[in-house]
Amino acid sequence: MNDFHKYDNEVQPDNKFGHALRLLEQHLPADLDQDGVHLDLACGFGHVAEPIKDWFGLHYVGVDVDELELDQLRARGLEAHAADLTDPDVAERLRKVLDGRRLVSVTFLDGLEHLTDGSHALAALGELLAEHRAVAVTSVPNVTHLDVGIKTLLGTWDYTEAGLLDVTHVQLYSEKSLTAALASAGLSRIGREDVLLARSDQHFPGDHVGLSEATTFSRYLRTVRGDAEPNGLVNQFVWALTAAPPRPAPSYVDPRSTETDRFLSVVMRTQGRRIQELREALVCLAAQSCQDFEVLVVAHKTNAEEQKAVEVVIDDQPPALRERIRLVLLDHGQRSAPINAGIEAAAGRYVAIFDDDDVVMGDWVKEFRDAEREHGGRILRTIAMKQGASVDTVRGLPGIRSTTAPEKAYDDDFSLAGHLVANQSPPIGWIFPRSLATHFGLAYDDSMTTTEDWEFLLRAAQLAGVTDIGRGTAIYRWWETRESSRTAHPIDEWAQNQREIERRIDSRPFLLPPGETRQLRADLLELTELRKRTRQMQRRVTQLEKKSAQKQTQIRRLQRRLRQQRRAKAPAPMPPTLRQRLRPRTRLKAMARRVRGS
């Protein structure tokens, strides 16, 4: 372990300097050339100069625009050069600084955010790393830290003298925007040692309810953010970089590039064992009155024969549908893995989970798309019917035989509180905005062997809300003889998964949509009333039991008295007659003799 104590107080194991040095240690080549140069861009005071020299034996060269700080470096016996990192010719300037020497590594710590246009500095870095096969470490403050995010949400933006919102910062970065800026300059991340701070320099005022980790509001935001993106506590991104082919892109986001024309992505998982059901599912899609959808058939753990069977079904489809079907092969994971793989590959604004044995009406897509116009962003729900089915082979071809009429088995209207008790929404009856996956990080939990859709719906419905369309557009098949998820898992397992859902729901704040409290209030009032009545009834029962016990005692006493009276009045018992004393067998014999004699 390197000794940080002998250096400048600013260099600590748990700050950006310490992290940057560790990353360099990990990524510098083992056979370091002693004549190699380390460039420290936007070096300022040059905090890492001595560790760079001492630990890695590299020749430190500081580069900055501030002559005063450069003079101080020179006074410490260090090489220092002036360079404007916003200059379009900065790469050439740095080549002159190197003057033919071999560049081994670069640090660019908390400098990028101070540049009005950092693209030239990053491009120069990319070029030099490529030319010298060198590595770099950069650190950049994370403007999406939870402290900044929560305060911004509540309308506060506090510049400070230094820190996350240093008043001199002119560019602000998230992980995504930093990655994009680096990629555009031909830089790729090869390691990270981000600095985490639960309480950043923006964690003020101290009594801010939104910032406190203990408040319900804050806990809710933190759990939602934690699902969405992992950098809520990252104070500074500290990344090791290497050269990569540049992917030129503007330094801003074009909102139009984030829009998708496709309405729906239908994710259909299959194991390649229910081929006839898959055919039925796809003909339902081929016949949709609205064809604004793509289909992602996720073949999960299929063997060669099963995969081939799925491919034949896809090849058989009409061209207009076939060109919108993508086959995704997946060989790992449990029940939810293919769903998540499908969601990841999806491009639509909404996602439907369509099991390969589901059936839908011809306006299934259209009803959803019509609802999106007014309720875009919410979960859209229709009514799914339940219908019994079995496999029936006719003339050598296995087909599906419906065994019961489609019947209503689920609630017409969605209630989030009601869904805490039981799932009333089979997946084929609802679709969700893909944004829940891309922006909120929601995914089906692959550790759950059953009820994974229920768990997802409970989380998704809190965030997006649910719009009921009120039409029956889907049929959920209820297999009577064949294996299905219903029959493949024992009841205990279903109960165990339900308990797990309850545990998870209880572990975090729960958000109810408007109107749900009315029903809860009504239910709670009814429950209170019922409990009151139950208590009254219990009291009455207790009274009656007491009375009953008293009566029993009285009856026993009277019975005892009666027995005593009878004993007192009863005559002495008569001795048994001869006949009574004869054994039954003897009596029978005597009777038989009499009969024979007569």
In the complex, the residues that contact another protein under the rule CB under 8 A are: 276, 279-280, 282-284, 286-287, 289, 312, 316-320, 359-363, 383, 385, 392-408, 412, 470-472, 475
Q: What is the nearest approach in angstroms of another protein to the Cβ of residue 471?
A: 7
Q: What is the nearest approach in angstroms of another protein to the Cβ of residue 511?
A: 28
Of 402 and 496, nearer to another protein (C-beta) is 402
Q: What is the nearest approach in angstroms of another protein to the Cβ of residue 260?
A: 24
The residue whose two tokens read 């998708």 is: 260
Question: Quick one: residue 563, left, alpha or beta (phi over 0 = left, psi -120 to 50 = alpha)?
Answer: alpha
Of 403 and 438, nearer to another protein (C-beta) is 403
Q: What is the nearest approach in angstroms of another protein to the Cβ of residue 355?
A: 15
Residues 6+ apart with CB under 8 A from 53: 59, 60
Residues 6+ apart with CB under 8 A from 242: 27, 129, 135, 136, 187, 188, 190
Residues 6+ apart with CB under 8 A from 544: none
- Structural contact between residues 265 and 203, judged by C-beta atoms closer than 8 angstroms: no
Of 322 and 489, nearer to another protein (C-beta) is 322
Q: What is the nearest approach in angstroms of another protein to the Cβ of residue 402?
A: 4
Of 289 and 507, nearer to another protein (C-beta) is 289
The C-alpha atoms of residue 17 and residue 183 are separated, in whole angstroms, by 24
Q: What is the nearest approach in angstroms of another protein to the Cβ of residue 409?
A: 9
Question: Nearest 5°: phi and psi at 473?
Answer: -125, 5
Which candidate, 486, 453, 494, places its Cα nearest to that of 353? 453
The C-alpha atoms of residue 130 and residue 181 are separated, in whole angstroms, by 17
> Strand, coil or helix: what is 103?
strand
Of 352 and 463, nearer to another protein (C-beta) is 352
Of 289 and 559, nearer to another protein (C-beta) is 289
Q: What is the nearest approach in angstroms of another protein to the Cβ of residue 285?
A: 9
Q: What is the nearest approach in angstroms of another protein to the Cβ of residue 432?
A: 22
Strands 293-300 and 264-270: parallel
Of 22 and 279, nearer to another protein (C-beta) is 279
The C-alpha atoms of residue 336 and residue 432 are separated, in whole angstroms, by 16
Of 395 and 585, nearer to another protein (C-beta) is 395
Of 14 and 413, nearer to another protein (C-beta) is 413
- Structural contact between residues 150 and 209, judged by C-beta atoms closer than 8 angstroms: no
Of 226 and 406, nearer to another protein (C-beta) is 406
Q: What are the tokens at 429? A: 């009856």
Q: What is the nearest approach in angstroms of another protein to the Cβ of residue 413?
A: 11
Of 66 and 392, nearer to another protein (C-beta) is 392
The C-alpha atoms of residue 448 and residue 485 are separated, in whole angstroms, by 12
Of 49 and 268, nearer to another protein (C-beta) is 268
Q: What is the nearest approach in angstroms of another protein to the Cβ of residue 473?
A: 8
Q: What is the nearest approach in angstroms of another protein to the Cβ of residue 215?
A: 43
Of 406 and 513, nearer to another protein (C-beta) is 406
What are the percentages of helix, strand and coil residues in the chain, rounded to 5? 45, 20, 35
Question: Quick one: residue 574, left, alpha or beta (phi over 0 = left, psi -120 to 50 = alpha)?
Answer: beta
Question: Quick one: residue 239, left, alpha or beta (phi over 0 = left, psi -120 to 50 = alpha)?
Answer: beta
Q: What is the nearest approach in angstroms of another protein to the Cβ of residue 280?
A: 5
Strands 264-270 and 79-82: unpaired
Of 38 and 324, nearer to another protein (C-beta) is 324
Residues 6+ apart with CB under 8 A from 234: 142, 145, 175, 194, 195, 196
Show the DSSP H helices in 479-515 as ranges. Answer: 485-488, 491-506
Task: Report cis status (omega within 30 of 0) of the bond before 576.
Answer: no
The kind and range of the H/E element at 371 are helix 364-375
Q: What is the nearest approach in angstroms of another protein to the Cβ of residue 322?
A: 9
DSSP tag of 87: S
Q: What is the nearest approach in angstroms of another protein to the Cβ of residue 209?
A: 45
How far lies 505's CA from each of 314, 422, 439, 508, in Å?
40, 13, 21, 6
Torsion 214-220-224-225 (CA) sign: negative
